[in-house]
């Protein structure tokens, strides 16, 4: 065959192929979406057969994952008669067109679409709707509650309602997440109230806390987990039982369709431990358990999960005066306690810590009998006396009046101070009142009693002037006891009283007087010089009368004259 014939045949073949190619493009229009099949893949392109033996190529970077041969791909016919006769197609533009149609339809039907907060802009957010489409979400429509920190929503993926759609790539579409959330919450709430029953277990997320419990998000609406429904035991802090953000399962214990109130319980997820209390515990049982709460009136001790008993402040110690439980215990301390009583109806248990040990006051009179002497330290000084420690937890009280028989001690600090070791004697023991009285002066005999025995009333005593006052003279006698001679009792019977009489006496003078009255209980001694002089005068008269019995006649005037002379 000649070269000319061969060339003519090649030209004829090319024309035939061109005709077949053009036929293959029948029914395909620019801008049309077509589903093609991947026929070849290399590092740069993905070749797609769009039908009628026509293939187009798509840059590999348009794919998130490179497809395999035989995979279906949605493409847009950009130009069915591209350069070199090859169909120009685009996967990205196909997706954009399909996405645009999808968003337009969603806007018309108010169907939620997925979006992502990508940027804070003036007045709201830019939201990525996918396929190179963006929308504007006003700040007021970003959430059902006020957004305090706009940046906190950046990156959040959620659903939006398209209020206004614009097909271009400018930020003209307006979307609302709040509309979607409100619609979703309404659906969730209607479904909840129509399907759940009291006793059902529901799931929610801990949303916030109050002083009386915690609010649980059940899907955009809240249920209340009250403080009393968190545990069968005593609850003081809701945060000890649930944490904010935790997903929890709770039992529905009350629901009111009219008020839309929902009450939830954590403790009802378990059996009430109080129902089997008497199977495990009895009055008198000694239990080792931790202190779970401290108050000013006592401590709570968890004797079993969900069961707490109260040890009142008065039941903490036999010997210590506990003003606050923190003085003897700490939160978390594991202690031994005894069950004193319980009330199942009120779910209360009374506990005692001191009852675990014997009461030392029951035998205190045996250890500290009246009259026993001890040397012990002073632990506290008050205005009225001093506390002296006899043993751990037991103090005796030394009153200021029991320091000295004769001295008027006005302030105990003049006798002792904290830390001093002093000798004391037990004067009174009152176990029922937990009191022990001590004395120092009782270590010696009472000089007032001795004085009264030695110098009864009307006897004459000798003393030393210790003080001269406006109302009389104090005289110190046996045992450093002071007696008082009033101004009246300083004057002689036959002389008129005057303040000049006081000038006759000076401190240190020795003086004789008659005991007019002595009272050991009140520690008072009254003396009289006047009575002593009167007695002396009577004695002289009697003596004179006795010497004159043999004389002829004695007149009263003679007696008076004789008395004056003497």
What's the pLDDT band for 83 if we cut at 50, 70, 90?
Answer: low
Residue 1 in domain? no
What is the model's pTM? 0.47
On whether residue 553 sits in a domain, the answer given is: no
Average pLDDT of the segment spanning 456-481: 90
Mean pLDDT of the chain: 85
Helix axes 529-547, 556-565, angle to 10 degrees: 120
- The string of pLDDT tens digits covering residues 309-351 is 999 999 999 888 889 999 999 999 999 999 999 999 998 999 9
**Which residues is 298 bridged to in the sheet?**
295, 312
Query: Is residue 8 predicted with pLDDT exceeding 60?
Result: no
Q: What mean pLDDT do residues 57-76 have?
A: 85
**CA dist 36 → 90, 342, 349 (Å):** 11, 82, 79
Give the residue among 317, 287, 318, 292 at the shortest CA–CA distance from 303. Answer: 287
Same-domain status, 340 and 420: no
Band (54; pLDDT cuts 50, 70, 90):
low
Say if CB 109 and CB 124 are below 8 A apart: no
How many domains does one find in the chain?
6
- Do 424 and 504 lie in one domain? The reply is no
What's the pLDDT score for residue 499?
Answer: 78
The predicted pLDDT at position 15 comes to 46
CATH of the domain at 115: 2.40.50.140
Q: What are phi and psi of 251, to 5 degrees?
A: -95, 135
User: Is 19 a member of any domain?
Assistant: no
Same-domain check for residues 526 and 479: yes
* Mean per-residue pLDDT, 205-215: 90
Percent of the chain with pLDDT strictly greater than 70: 89
pLDDT at residue 226, rounded to an integer: 92
476 close to 463: Cβ distance less than 8 angstroms: yes
**Per-residue pLDDT, 117:** 96
If one compares 415 and 21, the residue with the highest pLDDT of the two is 415
pLDDT confidence tier of residue 49, bands split at 50, 70 and 90:
confident
The helix or strand, by DSSP H or E, that contains position 204, with its residue range, turns out to be strand 201-210
> Region 78-103: what's the mean pLDDT?
77
How many C-beta neighbours within 10 Å does residue 407 have?
12
Minimum mean pLDDT range among 159-173, 238-252, 347-361, 459-473: 159-173
Most confident of 18-32, 275-289, 485-499, 530-544: 275-289
Q: Which of 15-29, 105-119, 487-501 has the highest mean pLDDT?
A: 105-119
Confidence of residue 26 (pLDDT cuts 50, 70, 90): low
Give the pLDDT confidence of 452-466 residue by residue, as tens digits: 888 999 999 999 999
Per DSSP bridges, beta strands 348-352 and 307-312 are parallel
Q: What pLDDT shows up at residue 78?
A: 76
**Is position 103 within any domain?**
no
Q: Highest-confidence range of 6-20, 71-85, 473-487, by mean pLDDT?
A: 473-487
Could you report the per-residue pLDDT of 243-272, keeping only the tens digit for each? 999 999 999 999 988 888 999 999 888 888
Host domain of residue 54: 28-95
Confidence of residue 33 (pLDDT cuts 50, 70, 90): confident
Whether pLDDT at 553 is above 90: no
Do residues 482 and 465 share a domain? Answer: yes
Query: Tell me, what's the pLDDT at 19?
Result: 46
Q: Is residue 548 part of a domain?
A: no
542 belongs to a structural domain:
no
How far apart CA 525 and CA 513 sit, in angstroms, is 11
* 136/216 same-domain check: no
At which of 269, 291, 314 does a domain end? 269
Q: Which pLDDT value is given to residue 247?
A: 92
Beta strands in 401-549, from DSSP E residues, in sequence order: 421-430, 435-439, 460-468, 472-476, 482-486, 510-519, 524-528
Band of pLDDT at residue 27, cut at 50, 70 and 90: low
Min mean pLDDT across 450-464, 472-486, 536-550 is at 536-550
Mean pLDDT to the nearest integer, 492-499: 76
Residues 332 and 376 reside in one and the same domain: no
Check whether residue 125 and residue 157 sit in a common domain. Answer: yes
- Of 317, 339, 356, which marks where a domain is finished? 356
User: Is pLDDT of 18 > 50?
Assistant: no
Asked if residue 289 belongs to a domain, the reply is yes
- Strand ranges for 211-306 from DSSP E: 213-217, 222-226, 247-256, 261-265, 286-295, 298-304
Is 33 part of any domain?
yes
What SS3 class is residue 281?
coil
Question: Is pLDDT larger for residue 27 or for residue 423?
Answer: 423
| Position 498 confidence tier, pLDDT thresholds 50, 70, 90 | confident
Bridge partners of 421, per DSSP, are: 377
- Residue where a domain stops, chosen among 151, 183, 215: 183
CA distances from 484 to 468, 495, 553 (A): 10, 20, 44
> Would you state the pLDDT for residue 548?
59
pLDDT at res. 98: 82
Do residues 325 and 243 share a domain? Answer: no
SS3 489: helix
Residues 451 and 533 in one domain: yes
């Amino acid at each position: 065959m000649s070269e000319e014939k061969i060339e003519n045949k090649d030209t004829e073949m090319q024309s035939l192929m061109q005709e077949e190619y053009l036929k293959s493009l029948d029914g395909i229009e620019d801008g049309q979406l077509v589903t093609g099949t991947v026929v070849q893949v290399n590092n740069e392109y993905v070749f797609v057969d769009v039908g009628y033996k026509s293939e187009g190529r798509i840059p590999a970077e348009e794919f998130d994952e490179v497809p395999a041969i035989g995979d279906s791909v949605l493409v847009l016919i950009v130009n069915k008669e591209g350069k070199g006769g090859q169909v120009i197609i685009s996967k990205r533009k196909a997706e954009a067109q399909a996405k645009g149609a999808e968003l337009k339809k969603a806007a018309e039907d108010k169907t939620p679409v997925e979006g992502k907060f990508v940027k804070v802009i003036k007045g709201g957010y830019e939201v990525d709707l996918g396929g190179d489409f963006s929308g504007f979400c006003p700040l007021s429509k970003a959430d059902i509650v006020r957004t305090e920190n706009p940046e906190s929503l950046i990156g959040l993926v959620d659903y939006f309602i398209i209020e206004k759609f614009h097909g271009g790539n400018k930020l003209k579409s307006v979307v609302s997440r709040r509309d979607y959330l409100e619609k979703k919450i309404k659906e969730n709430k209607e479904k909840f109230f129509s399907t759940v029953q009291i006793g059902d277990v529901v799931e929610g997320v801990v949303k916030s806390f109050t002083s009386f419990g915690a609010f649980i998000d059940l899907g955009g609406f809240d249920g209340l987990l009250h403080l009393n429904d968190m545990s069968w035991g005593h609850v003081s802090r809701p945060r000890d039982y649930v944490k904010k953000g935790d997903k929890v399962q709770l039992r529905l214990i009350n629901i009111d369709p009219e008020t839309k109130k929902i009450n939830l319980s954590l403790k009802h997820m378990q059996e009430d431990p109080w129902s089997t209390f008497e199977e495990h515990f009895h009055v008198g049982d000694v239990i080792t358990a931790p202190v779970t709460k401290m108050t000013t009136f006592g401590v709570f001790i968890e004797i079993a999960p969900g069961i707490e008993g109260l040890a009142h402040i008065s039941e903490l110690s036999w010997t210590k005066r506990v003003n606050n439980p923190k003085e003897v215990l700490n939160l978390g301390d594991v202690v031994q306690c005894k069950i004193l009583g319980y009330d199942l109806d009120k779910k209360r248990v009374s506990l005692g810590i001191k009852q675990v040990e014997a009461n030392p006051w029951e035998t205190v009179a045996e250890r500290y009998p009246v009259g026993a002497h001890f040397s012990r330290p002073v632990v506290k000084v008050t205005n009225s006396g001093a506390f002296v420690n006899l043993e751990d937890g037991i103090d005796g009280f030394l009153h200021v009046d029991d320091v000295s028989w004769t001295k008027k001690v006005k302030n105990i600090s003049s006798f002792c101070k904290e830390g001093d070791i002093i000798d004391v004697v037990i004067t009174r023991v009152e176990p029922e009142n937990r009191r022990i009285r001590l004395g120092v002066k009782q270590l010696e005999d009472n000089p007032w009693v001795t004085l009264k025995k030695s110098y009864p009333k009307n006897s004459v005593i000798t003393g030393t002037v210790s003080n001269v006052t406006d109302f009389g003279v104090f005289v110190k006698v046996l045992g450093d006891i002071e007696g008082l001679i009033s101004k009246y009792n300083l004057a002689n019977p036959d002389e008129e009283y005057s303040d000049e009489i006081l000038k006759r006496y000076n401190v240190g003078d020795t003086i004789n007087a008659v005991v007019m009255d002595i009272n050991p209980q009140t520690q008072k001694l009254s003396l009289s010089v006047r009575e002593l002089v009167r007695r002396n005068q009577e004695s002289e008269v009697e003596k004179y009368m006795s010497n004159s019995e043999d004389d002829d006649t004695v007149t009263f005037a003679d007696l008076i004259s004789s008395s004056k002379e003497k």
